[in-house]
Structure 1
Amino acid sequence: MLSYSSCMLPAVAALLVTCHALPECPGNTELPEIPALSQRDGLIGQSHLSNGFRGQLGSLVSPPRRNRLPWENGLPNSLDTDPRDVIADLKHRLCRLEGVLVLNEKIRKVGDKIFASNGKKADFASALGSCEEAGGTLATPMNEEENKAVLSFVKQYNQYAYLGIKESETPGQFKYINSMPLSYTQWYQYEPNGKGTEKCVEMYTDGSWNDKRCNLNRLIICEF
């Protein structure tokens, strides 16, 4: 949820950076000691104050004019709007965008997961890096419905795809890339059979899985 404090953080950070960038910030300037004055003496224009010190006092009392900083001009109009209206508008826009992507077969939504592919191919490490850079990870089906969603991209592009699964330290045993044990599998008959030589997993065009070497180019399918 958007909050007023989160919107103000950039302004606060900018303010701190600006202050530290100045040669002298308020509070860091050492002022000379002011001589004791009698009750009848005024503060400005006394003969026992040097012209230089009067100049310093004058600059403190009447600082030079400067341009107002952005955050001193009040909140922008967008922040004066009811946050609930802003959130409702964002949700509406996201739903419309999601609908367009689904219509154009760019994404598949299953439960809380969204699967997507740009049709490009890469080896396992590069495919995983591309998904993580986009804020997701490699597609990792954990039930039949999710497996079908990934399969739809495999069929659409007619290309095998890497899954977010790798062989563990024990040959023949596989786990998710987050090191958790598999809770769902769809191995092709007699697979996996690489026994330590095929550490990655690909999906065939019938939705079944096969262990495979990690240096081959396969379709990139990400989940978010």
Structure 2
Amino acid sequence: MPLLLPFNALVFWLSLLMVTSSINTDKTEEKISSCTVVQYSAPAVHVLQGRDGRDGPKGEKGEPGEGLRGLHGSPGKMGPPGIKGDSGPQGEKGEKGECGSVVTDDLLRQVTALEIKVQVLEAELNRYKTALILKNIKSIGKKIFVSTGKEDTFDNGKSLCAQAGSVLASPMNEAENTALKDLMRPSKNAYLGISDEQTESTFIYLNGGAITYTNWKAGEPNNANNEDCVVIQDSGKWNDISCSDSHALIICELLS
């Protein structure tokens, strides 16, 4: 507590001194108001730089210059592709074009081969259809003898067998000759596919080949009354007869 007394006294004294100085200063100013005032500047203080002012309004566009136009610059880089646009309206339907005719060689060969196969199958079918109509069948070796059961002329017999894809029967050995004889009953004679129409006294097969087997009846062939055709009798023996004035059983042969 004793220490505070001197401090308080000091504060009071300083306050009094400041008031007294203020009064004296006012009086002094009144007295020296007519004197020259000399102002001393304060020491320089470094301050921060202020902001740039705002840009003024844009001026009016000037008149175009009269100088020469500069050279065209090089093209810039291609920009990115744009967005795909909407599809346009569908156009009118065009006229129907002509059918194409381009066929490759390979396809043409295939078609030709198929046509040939079809023709072969049709021929086979016709042969078997005719065979079904015929009566009495005898198989011997690789041959099949089929009897029509009817007698007819030599020319009609050849035509009938040809329609079935066959020929008039022609035995080439004893076994085949016996098979034909067994098909003849009750007929007495059956035509063979042998004649000497081309060369008298030279009997050959209808395909032009020389005969390799014969079984002539005694005294035959005698060519009586211009006999150019051959028949097999119910005995199995052969005889020459007229091709145009006689009828005999028609027997055809097929290869199995």
Instruction: Return the structure number with greater helix share.
Output: 1
5+ long unaligned stretches in structure 1: 1-38, 47-53, 61-93
Kindly tell me the number of residue pairs found equivalent between the two proteins: 136
Q: Tell me the CA shift for residue 213 of structure 1.
A: 0.4
Instruction: Look up the equivalent residue of 1:150 and give its one-letter code.
Output: L
Secondary structure of 1:117's partner?
strand
Counterpart of 1:16 in structure 2 is none
Matched, 1:193 2:222: yes
After superposition, the C-alpha distances for 1:139-166 in whole angstroms (9 at most, x for unaligned) are 1101111101111112x22330100001
Counterpart of 2:166 in structure 1 is 136
After superposition, the C-alpha distances for 1:57-79 in whole angstroms (9 at most, x for unaligned) are 8x89xxxxxxxxxxxxxxxxxxx
Counterpart of 1:108 in structure 2 is 138
2: CA distance between counterparts of 1:41 and 1:191? 102
Q: Tell me the CA shift for residue 196 of structure 1.
A: 8.2
Give the one of 47, 55, 71 matched to 2:93: 55
Q: Structure 2 length normalisation: TM-score?
A: 0.48
2: CA distance between counterparts of 1:195 and 1:42? 99
Q: Structure 1 length normalisation: TM-score?
A: 0.54
Q: Do 1:168 and 1:175's aligned partners in 2 also have CA atoms closer than 8 Å?
A: no
Instruction: Look up the equivalent residue of 2:161 and give its one-letter code.
Output: C
- In structure 2, relative to structure 1, the CA distance for the partners of 1:144 and 1:56 (3 Å cut) is same
* Range moving further from structure 2, 167-176 or 209-218: 167-176
Counterpart of 1:45 in structure 2 is 90
Secondary structure of 1:55's partner?
coil
Counterpart of 2:200 in structure 1 is 171
Q: Tell me the CA shift for residue 45 of structure 1.
A: 2.9
2: CA distance between counterparts of 1:196 and 1:180? 25
2: CA distance between counterparts of 1:44 and 1:159? 91
2: CA distance between counterparts of 1:193 and 1:162? 17
1: CA distance between counterparts of 2:242 and 2:231? 9
1: CA distance between counterparts of 2:88 and 2:210? 79
Q: Do 1:199 and 1:211's aligned partners in 2 also have CA atoms closer than 8 Å?
A: yes
Counterpart of 1:202 in structure 2 is 231
Counterpart of 2:76 in structure 1 is none
Alignment identity in percent?
Answer: 38
- In structure 2, relative to structure 1, the CA distance for the partners of 1:189 and 1:43 (3 Å cut) is farther
Q: Do 2:187 and 2:249's aligned partners in 1 also have CA atoms closer than 8 Å?
A: no
Say which one has the larger Rg.
2
